[in-house]
Amino acid sequence: MAGKTKTYLDYRNKLILAPMVRVGTLPMRLLALEYGADLVYTEEIIDWKLLRAERRVNDVLGTIDYIDTTDGTVVFRTCPAERGKVVLQIGTAAAERAAAVGKMLEQDVTAIDVNMGCPKEFSIKGGMGVALLYDLPRAKAVLEALVQTVSIPVTCKIRLMPDVDDTIKLARELQSTGISAIGVHGRTKTERPRDPVNEAAIARVAEALDIPVIANGGSQSITRHCDMLKFARQCGTRSVMVARAAEWNVSVFRPDGPLPLDDVIRRYLTLSVRYDNPPANSKYCVQMMLRSLQESPIGRRLLDSQTMQQMCDIWELGDYCRETQLVYHQAGNQGRRACRPRTLSQDQVENGSLGGKRQCFDGQELSIIEENICFIRANFPQDTELPKTKLFLYARRNHLELARYEVQQKDKLFKAIIQFDGKRYSSTFWEKSKRFAEQAAALVCLVQLGVEQRDTLIANGAMMKPLPEVGAPTQNSFDQSGQKETHEQKPDCELAVKDYVVV
């Protein structure tokens, strides 16, 4: 790697948030650091997903976002609060793709880890995860390509082989590629969390290597900070990474002991709102914290929730959520509500070939009445309350022709346009399913007819509050910690949400 100076990261004496799919996103990583973790790993992100993403500076959130160009979702989001402490874990089976990912992201992460321990069928079929342990030439090629390409440290995370001597031999081969550390999960590829972790095997690997070994797999015996230190000692290592114990209560990293779960959830949701985390991801993480409590009254409310506002209301953060989302909306944060297909050109938007303001229908040119309303299934527990059903009944009662639906698909997103009683209605919100797109368009129509009330839709998260006029005082905005700060609205913030392409 000519012309680049390698950065150094000391992997000794570290308590680490392990990589966890759907859990290791930005709010959880920040919370782990806040509670005392030294390093935090991202969830495993597959190489090709990163390679089709675009890097964006998100000035509203103060983050760096990598955006999937096919559907506008955030593949990876980071912020200055985790600089120097966030490790990107990638799933890969190709040296060229791994190197390309490393080159693409090395400016935004502290180190790169290659997943060589995931036993899931998806990873194995793709030659990734634990499959790499049984394809040593490929595994070494991936690590060597990364080490030679990037200036930041490279590591890998493995599982034990059935024979400990084979594990030691493998680990030495991987060490020879120039990696800076290696994580060892103390179970084989066929063993599961209910099986005992092999601390002695991890200790033998640690003794045989010259680079730091990070012990992993002890969550069954870890409930406190001191338990992590004990697990590291028993494994003969100086560092430990924790997955499920942190998933259950991430305050396990606190030297003074874990906090009550409600306090942890409340803080987690605050960070989720602050960093505009996808509601589905936040809901999943809170579910993992609640575990058996999902059957409690609070747990049932969570399971019925579909928006960040609905979740925050459970833990008395609803006002904070609504205020923050409005601030971001005013500032032009290009969030899910502003999502439109990446392949939809500006010309198509302007000339109305897809969701424009005027289109021909049965030879007539009709304006489209648009509202930024999304369909949230949890808001309509009974099928008889669904927007399309309500619109059908409205038409029958008033002896009107039934609504006609036209659905357009672009990339992975859908938009519906309704013709009803001589007018056309559509939501500016691109949905991820045809059915939801039709229901959203029906909601727009029902709002215009007065059947559905705006205040109700705003309260349940389906609709944003209207923007204040330019120059009017805004709601409270928030700094990176989630604390409130006041400011005046700037004129250049007053832009239509639909004018933005995704973040």
pLDDT tens for each residue of the chain, 503 residues long: 444 678 999 999 999 999 999 999 999 999 999 999 999 999 999 999 999 999 999 999 999 999 998 777 899 999 999 999 999 999 999 999 999 999 999 999 999 999 999 988 888 989 999 999 999 999 999 999 999 999 999 999 999 999 999 999 999 999 999 999 999 999 999 999 999 999 999 999 999 999 999 999 999 999 999 999 999 999 999 999 999 999 999 999 999 999 999 999 999 999 999 999 999 899 999 999 999 999 999 999 999 887 898 899 999 999 999 899 888 877 767 555 556 665 554 444 444 444 444 444 444 556 899 998 988 887 888 889 999 999 999 999 999 999 999 999 987 789 999 999 999 999 988 888 899 999 999 999 999 999 999 999 888 778 877 655 544 444 444 444 454 443 333 222 222 222 222 22
**493: closest CA among 370, 328, 350?**
328
Q: Which structure tokens are listed for 31?
A: 């919370």
One DSSP character per residue, 246-269 reads HHH-GGGG-TT-PPPHHHHHHHHH
- Distance, CA of 207 to CA of 3 (rounded, Å): 34
Among 234, 228, 292, 283, smallest CA distance to 258 is for 228
According to DSSP, residue 54 is labeled E
If you search the block for the tokens 């890969």, which residue do you land on? 92
For residues 68 and 72, what is the distance between their CA atoms, to the nearest angstrom?
A: 5
Answer whether 487's CB lies under 8 Å from 330's CB: no
Structure tokens at 409: 């698909």
Torsion of CA 359, 362, 363, 364, to 10 degrees: -60
Residues 39 and 485: their CA atoms lie apart, in Å, by 29
Q: Which residues are catalytic?
A: 118
- pTM for the model stands at 0.78
Task: Name the token pair of 473.
Answer: 């005082």
